[in-house]
Chains A and B, each alone.
Chain A
């Protein structure tokens, strides 16, 4: 994941909003994804955004994309204890099947 960077850890209080950030380096990235991984489990696709969009909202999740700064964020509204997990940002480039992952951000939700 050397081309995609995320902060390692985020702690929030239950009911607050969480914002998880990601930066990528390749301007040819066309699709960007957020995945959630609970302990010992596989990855769950949460949402994706095309590079020609700057925002996408899906229930409690809001994705913001700043192409100029190559910055992607995931906002979780009204964070719940069940949201505690590792969140991965990933990108895919033109004509490629290869998902390139960040190292993941561990979200801890405190009661």
Chain B
């Protein structure tokens, strides 16, 4: 069966520091991968998605970036964090051949920028 991992689970970082969040998927090949952010008390907002290695689409202009160095690894980065980057970051995957049957989410990373 497929599993999705995210780390770290929680992170407290000062304003202006860099960020690297990692997501890996097991049990499937060539998945579509997604990064979402959930602000407190709000729904989710898609930040980036990837349909293959090195292929990244950005949905929201911001100081974040994403990379996919391996087939089942998706990384969310920032060079300098802002206070507004605080939130709950969720990685998700969907099957490459059936992307519309639902996206499957990881446990999330709670980021607090101080």
Residues of A bordering B, CB below 8 Å: 1, 4, 30-31, 33, 35, 40-45, 48, 88, 92, 97-99, 101-104
The reply to whether A99 and B44 contact each other, CB–CB distance below 8 Å, is: yes
Q: State the CA gap A45–B59 with chains docked (Å).
A: 22
Question: Is B46 positioned at the interface, with any CB of A under 8 Å from its CB?
Answer: yes
| Min distance, Cβ B48 to any Cβ of chain A, angstroms | 11
- CB contact under 8 A between A48 and B101, given known A41-B108, A97-B32: yes
> Which residues of the other chain, B, contact A33 by a CB distance below 8 angstroms?
102
Chain A at the B interface: mostly helix, strand, loop or mixed? strand
A101 to B103, CA, bound (A): 12
- Whether B108 and A98, one on each chain, are in contact in the complex, defined by CB atoms closer than 8 angstroms, is no
**Smallest CB separation, B92 vs chain A (Å):** 8
In the assembled complex, the CB of B41 is this many whole angstroms from the nearest CB of chain A, namely 8
**Contact A98 to B49, CB < 8 A, known contacts A41-B108, A42-B107, A48-B102:** yes
B43 interfacial by beta-carbon distance below 8 Å: yes
Contacts of B45 in A (CB 8 A): 101
User: Does B43 contact A104, Cβ atoms closer than 8 Å?
Assistant: yes
Q: Which residues of B contact A88 (CB under 8 A)?
A: 43-44
Contacts of A98 in B (CB 8 A): 46, 49, 59
